Every structure is written in C-alpha cells, then in structure tokens.
Amino acid sequence: MTGMLTMFALATLGLLLAFTTPLSYTYSAARLHGRLRMLVVGLLLSGCSSGDADSSRRADGSAGKDLARRKSAVATFAQRPDSAEERQYVSISRRYLLVGEHATDTSVLVLETAFRMCCRQAEKSATTTIALAGWVGRTDTDRAPDWTDSLEADVGEIVGLGSNSLYRANLQGCCDTGNLLTYINLRSGKRRFYMSHYNGPDRGSLPEANDWLNRASRFVAFHDIYTSTNPPESKDDETVVGVLQYGPPDGPVQRVVVNHTNGQAHDYRLDEVGFAEQDTIAPGDLGVGDNKKPHSVAEAFTGIAIIVQLQGMEFPSVSIRVPITRDSLDVAHAVLPTGFTIHGGADR
C-alpha cells in the first residue's frame, strides 16, 4: 500500500512539473526544472521495473512462463556532461523476448539490451548498439547464456514462426543509403542473412520457400552497396553490385557475388528479390515438392529460381535469374543482363 501511495505521489509531482512550466524563466531554472522531471521519470521507471523483476521468478529459480511479457521493459536515461551544451544523452533499454514454449527444447529466451547515444552533430544524430544474449532449451537466466552477439542497429525484433524464427536487427540508412537488415539465428546466435531495405515494410521480410512434407525452409536475401554497411566482398572490388544469399534459417548460407563490369557498380541497387517458379517473383511464400508423395529435400528444391530485380539509378532496371538445382544455386545456368557476371562466394 505504501508503494502504491509513493507511486501516486510521484506521478502527481510529474504531472505538476509537466504542466506548470512558466512561460519565461532563466536558463538555470530551466535546467533545474528539466532535471527534476528526469528524476521523477527515473524514479517511476525504477519503481515499475523492480516489482516485475521479482514477480517474474518462480520458487525453483526458473523464469516464469510469462517472463517475456512481465519482465520486458527496463530503461535508464542520463545526460552526458558536455561543456559545449550540445545536449547529448545516453539511454539504455533492456527487454526479454521469448520464442516457443517455456523451458522446452524448442524455447529460446533472448535478452536484448540497446545502448542509444543522442544527439551528435552529424548527419545521423543518434547511434545505437544492440547486445544480445540467448538461452536455448531452458529459460533460466541464472546460468551463462548459450550465445552472445553485439552489433550496430537502431531497432530489433523477432520475426518468423517456430524453428524459422530469426532476430532481425535494422540499421537505418542515412541520406541516400538504404537500411541494412541483419537476420540472426536464435538457436545458434549466428548472423545468417543480410538484406538491403528501401521500399516499405513488405520488402523487409525474407522471401521464403517451404517443403511442407519434409518441414524444410529456405530463405533468400540480397545485400547491395547502397546500404548503410556494404558486403565484405565489395571491399577490394569496385565492380560488386551486391551479394545474393540462399539457405536454411540455421545455415549454411550460399553466397553469390553479382558484378557489373560494364560501367559503375553504383549504377544499380536492389529493387526486389524473391523465389519464382518461372520468371515472376512469387507474391508470398512459395510451396515446393509434392505434399503427398515422399521425396528428398534436394528434389523439392529443384526446378525453381531466384529473381533479383535491380533498379537502375540512371539506366533502365534489369533482372537476374538464378535457377536452383538440388538445393543449390546453379550459377552456371544463370540468366544475366549484358555487362553483369556472377560467381560463387564463401558460404556462411
């Protein structure tokens, strides 16, 4: 009861501070007023998060069944000392993401901690680093995580269902660059796919082909050089337009490098990529194989293709078709526009 009265008093003080600001006052008074508001917000956050942290634990020390829901919002906020008065801030937010049923072989618990720094005097005023820790099969965070990773990204989320679930980190582009979507396998913690993203949320999903009988899935992605971070294959090769990727969610992922040797590689960037039975990208997930007749995975992923549509920056758009034979990109029989070549890269 005392805690509830305290929270009510803090909330009332916060409202008074928020709505009783004088129209004109000195700079020092303004800074004091702002710091009081920050203090109240911090106390409210700490008061809200402490109860959740305790109530999400069971007597046996394991995480509660609804851990991701009840222990999902803990944040801190601080102003950095800055003699230039540029108003730089650091915020740290933490949440738990749960996939699958609690404490089963299919469950994965992910702790996401985002460190965000704002506001720099630069073209992109804020930068964020996301640290991830994953517990597989058990959701007891008292033991060490099964995997960890850290990467630069602005936001992240879990996408997909069941064993096809992936963590998607979005590093937003600045100015003329596109977003970079990095897809991380939840069971291994390995980065599997990298996708350039320009044209709305529907283009941010990984195209998927499914063999329902064998419960096998394959994804495709394309990472071009207009993205906030370029593919590593382009570091010493100015003809690289981008890298095509194909494989299952848990890897390995086959990588194929697309080069433009008749002009500048920057003449083209990704428009759309996806699976196709003929010469048109499937509008949704593509089903492969016979759902009633037994077959192998290699047989199911044969006779389809990947279409990569590239937008010409000052030239007409072009399309690349790479067939899939026995669950592998058939580079030798790819259909390419004039001035383009492709070759296999290192699998991941």
pLDDT, one tens digit per residue, over 193-216 is 999 998 665 556 899 999 999 999
With bands split at pLDDT 50, 70 and 90, how would you rate the model's confidence at 73? low
Instruction: Give how far Cα 100 sits from Cα of 9, 133, 144, 212, 305, Å.
Output: 40, 16, 20, 20, 32
Residue 145 pLDDT level (bands cut at 50, 70, 90):
very high
Grade residue 140 by pLDDT with cuts at 50, 70 and 90. Answer: confident
Taking every pair of Cα atoms in the chain, the longest distance, rounded to a whole number of angstroms, is: 80
Assign 225 a pLDDT band (cuts: 50, 70, 90): very high
Rounded to the nearest angstrom, the gap between the alpha carbon of residue 69 and the centroid of all alpha carbons in its chain is 20
pLDDT category at 12 given cuts 50, 70, 90 is: very low
pLDDT band at 72 (very low <50, low <70, confident <90, very high): low
What pLDDT does 81 receive?
Answer: 55
The DSSP line for 91-118 is EEEEEEEEESSTTSTT-EEEEEEEEEEE
Mean pLDDT for all residues in the chain: 78
Strand runs labelled E in the chain: 74-79, 89-99, 108-118, 126-136, 147-152, 155-159, 166-171, 179-185, 191-197, 208-211, 216-224, 240-247, 254-260, 268-276, 286-287, 304-312, 318-324, 340-344
**Can you tell me the mean pLDDT for 207-231?**
94
Distance CA 92, CA 115 (A): 5
- Taking only the tens place, the pLDDT of each residue in 171-192 is 987 777 789 999 999 999 999 9
Question: Could you read off the pLDDT of 80-99 as tens digits, one per residue?
Answer: 555 555 667 788 999 999 88
Angle at 161 between CA 155 and CA 162, to 5 degrees: 120
As a whole number of angstroms, the distance between CA 326 and CA 329 comes to 8
* Residue 246 pLDDT level (bands cut at 50, 70, 90): very high
Residue 87 has what pLDDT? 66
